[in-house]
Amino acid sequence: MHYINLILKRIFSSFFTLLIVSALIYGVLEILPGDVATRILGRAATPESLVILRAELGLDEPALNRYFSWLYNIFQGDFGNAMTSKRPIIDVLGPKIFNTMVLSGFAFLLYLPMAFITALVQAANKNRQIDNILSIVTLVILSLPDFIIGTIFLILFVVFIPILPVVSLVGEYTNFWEWVKALIMPAVTLALIMSVYAVRMLRDNLIEVLDSDYVLMARLKGLPKYKVLIKHALPNAITPTLNVTALNLGFLIGGVVIVEKVFTYPGFGSLLVDSIKFRDLPLVEATILIAAAFYVFANLLTDILSILFNPKLRKE
């Protein structure tokens, strides 16, 4: 039963980390020297507008009180109201998070075959021409900034071969095909960014496994090469790659911010950037906290999975 304790400990420390994150975000934005109202209104602030905004935000209360009531409301599922639109943040966030989940789901479906097929081809042809070429291609894509990959797609498929829309706006009235058309470029970009990491990891793992005795044994017993690769090598190389995939999930948020901005896709990432641009502090706090929560839970999930699947940890 020891592993249940281990898992509970991890869950507790994840929550603790999030608590610190919330304090950091709130502290940095609201308590740091310099007045919140000035930060929101920017250089154009007049003394009168500052006074009005301060009263509206309840800034007369002590900072700690404000932090705890903010935190208390979040536990009740209430993030407060956005300042720019005056709507409840939950209502603003909901559809955007849905859009982003559609996008990342689509990207994830593309990611799996892209990562696995490339890595299998490379491992099967280790150190031959095709492996070297694919290695260099993945290295180049890996080192490209996300927004440049997106921009290359824009130039190719919007400017030179005009088949896809330059902005990927979707809403209530978009039909299925418009959704797909809008999603292709952002999803392919995201999948590409995520898969290059996994490909490099999985290739090395596969090659390592292929060098092992039991694979040699399987080869000597007369199994064809592709069968050895899929039946013996792949399952053993998958665990470290699962870790990369989970890390990718955390990485996904950063990628989503850039990719959604490149293709003007109305999702969580665009919302985050816009809220920062408009200095909508309640919305900034909520979106960053959710981004961090997503990362923390993705990590928690991998940890729990690796505890459950690792017999050594389980017995300990």
The residue ranges that bind another protein (CB under 8 A) are 16-18, 20-21, 24-25, 28-29, 32, 34, 38-39, 42-43, 136, 139-140, 142-148, 151-152, 154-155, 158-159, 250-251, 253-254, 257-258, 261-262, 272-273, 276-277, 279, 284, 288, 291-292, 295-296, 299
Given the complex with another protein, which of 118 and 287 has the nearer CB atom?
A: 287
Given the complex with another protein, which of 189 and 218 has the nearer CB atom?
A: 189
For residue 114, what are its two tokens?
A: 């892209």
Residue 88 bridge partners (DSSP): 81
Minimum CB distance to another protein, residue 252 (Å): 9
Minimum CB distance to another protein, residue 226 (Å): 28
Nearest residue to 231 (alpha-carbon basis) of 251, 212, 247, 215: 215
Minimum CB distance to another protein, residue 273 (Å): 5
Given the complex with another protein, which of 140 and 308 has the nearer CB atom?
A: 140
Residue 20 φ then ψ, to 5°: -65, -40
- Cα separation of 93 and 160, whole Å? 35
How many C-beta atoms surround the C-beta of residue 65 within 10 A? 10
CB-neighbour burial class of residue 233 (10 A; exposed 0-12, middle 13-18, buried 19+): buried
For residue 56, what are its two tokens?
A: 């509206």
Residue 81 bridge partners (DSSP): 88
Cβ atoms 93, 285 nearer than 8 A = no
Given the complex with another protein, which of 88 and 254 has the nearer CB atom?
A: 254
Minimum CB distance to another protein, residue 220 (Å): 30
For residue 71, what are its two tokens?
A: 């935190």
- Cα separation of 238 and 44, whole Å? 56
Minimum CB distance to another protein, residue 92 (Å): 18
Given the complex with another protein, which of 3 and 251 has the nearer CB atom?
A: 251
Given the complex with another protein, which of 130 and 140 has the nearer CB atom?
A: 140
Nearest residue to 190 (alpha-carbon basis) of 289, 73, 100, 68: 100
Minimum CB distance to another protein, residue 281 (Å): 9
Given the complex with another protein, which of 52 and 152 has the nearer CB atom?
A: 152
Minimum CB distance to another protein, residue 260 (Å): 11
